[in-house]
């Protein structure tokens, strides 16, 4: 059996069992970047804070992924010409209500709207405004998903149509394998779900790229969280100490010290002073006086490599 034939058989075996998400670290990273991108975009559209997070990524049959939401969902079908395939981005009713509350100026003082009919078939149809809001959010997610995939491959997502019944949201055979990612959105004490379904046949050509973590590729940072961390770190209190001179002494010298005894120092007023934090020298300073108090003027930052060389040469 040739190496090429063996590789083809291995790919067929992998295709029959579905994509192993654990073996595709870049795929999880793509959805993390998607969540961050959607959160940043939503905050620009609303004054209320919006949070997107990845609730889960799994391999599933297309039919099982769509049946989990029934007719309580609005979904956008997007065409990816580079993959010669289509993907689905859907949102549930709670997601639509949450985004409408936020986009139309709700401040959270009222309880979030919850429509809970006695029977699922009594669920009212979506209004035109709700469908338009869902379409805007699905297109926003598609744009951010396109950017999230950029380090892995070049792909574009173009909206084909919107569907309010999952029976008509076809992505090929319902028995085909696919990857489904669930995103949770939170805002104004309300929450909803967005989900993305990508057929496995679309990801197979880039499986090797998804299995390798790109150099320098990390999950996108949340700028609001970064600013908060920076603010709290800057508030941290530290203790500094200034050292004019240090000298080695034996235990006998210490025991021989008496009250009133003068210890002569080799340092002069021009000698550099060490400024230490947590027993680490951070700056070299010059000693001075101002208004009857000693002051320090920072002259240079500490170089641990130079200090090590100086210590070796002085021996």
Per-residue pLDDT of the chain (315 residues; tens, 9 = 90+): 565 555 445 544 444 455 678 788 888 889 999 999 998 888 888 777 788 999 889 888 888 888 887 767 899 999 999 999 999 999 988 888 888 888 877 666 666 555 555 555 556 788 888 899 899 999 999 999 999 998 888 999 999 999 887 777 778 788 888 899 999 988 877 888 999 999 998 888 888 888 877 655 555 566 777 888 888 888 888 888 888 888 888 999 889 889 988 888 888 878 888 888 888 888 889 888 888 888 998 888 877 666 655 555 555
Q: Any idea which residue has 């021989």 for tokens?
A: 256
Q: Using a CB cutoff of 8 Å and minimum separation of 24, what contacts does 295-300 make?
A: 296/242, 299/272
Do 224 and 270 fall within a single domain?
A: no
Identify which of 84, 52, 97, 17 has the alpha carbon closest to the alpha carbon of residue 196. 52
3-state SS class at 199:
strand
The label of the residue with tokens 């609001």 reads 224
Count the neighbouring beta carbons within 10 Å of the beta carbon of residue 34.
27
One domain, residues 111 and 198: yes
Give phi and psi for 264, each to the nearest 5: -80, 140
Q: Determine contact, residues 54/183, Cβ cutoff 8 Å.
A: yes
What 8-state DSSP symbol labels residue 268?
-
Angle 265-271-273 from CA coordinates, rounded to 5°: 95
Domain co-membership, 267 together with 294: yes
Q: What is the CATH number of the domain that holds 75?
A: 3.40.1550.10
- Is 246 found in the same domain as 224? no
**224 and 195 part of one domain:** yes
């Amino acid at each position: 059996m040739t190496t090429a034939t063996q590789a083809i058989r291995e790919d067929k075996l992998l295709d029959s069992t579905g994509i192993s998400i654990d073996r595709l670290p870049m795929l999880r990273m793509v959805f993390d970047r998607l969540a961050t991108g959607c959160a940043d975009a939503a905050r620009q559209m609303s004054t209320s804070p919006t949070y997107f997070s990845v609730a889960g990524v799994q391999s599933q049959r297309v039919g099982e992924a769509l049946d989990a939401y029934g007719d309580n969902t609005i979904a956008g079908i997007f065409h990816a010409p580079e993959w010669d395939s289509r993907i689905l981005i859907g949102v549930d009713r709670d997601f639509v209500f949450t985004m409408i509350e936020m986009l139309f100026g709700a401040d959270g003082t009222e309880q979030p709207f919850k429509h809970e009919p006695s029977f699922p078939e009594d669920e009212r149809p979506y209004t035109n405004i709700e469908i338009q809001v869902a379409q805007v959010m699905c297109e926003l997610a598609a744009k951010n998903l396109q950017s999230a995939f950029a380090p892995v491959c070049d792909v574009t997502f173009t909206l084909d149509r919107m569907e309010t019944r999952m029976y008509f949201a076809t992505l090929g055979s319902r028995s085909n394998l696919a990857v489904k990612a669930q995103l949770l959105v939170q805002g104004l004490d309300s929450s909803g779900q967005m989900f993305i379904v990508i057929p496995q046949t679309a990801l197979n050509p880039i499986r090797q790229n998804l299995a390798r973590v790109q150099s320098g590729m990390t999950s996108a940072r949340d700028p609001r969280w970064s600013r908060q961390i920076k603010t709290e770190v800057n508030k941290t209190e530290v203790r500094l100490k200034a050292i004019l001179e240090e000298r080695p002494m034996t235990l006998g010298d210490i025991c021989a010290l008496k009250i009133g005894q003068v210890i002569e120092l080799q340092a002069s007023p021009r000698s550099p002073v060490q400024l230490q934090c947590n027993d680490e020298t951070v700056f070299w300073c010059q000693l001075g006086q101002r208004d009857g108090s000693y002051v320090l003027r920072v002259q240079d930052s500490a170089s641990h490599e130079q200090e090590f060389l100086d210590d070796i040469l002085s021996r």
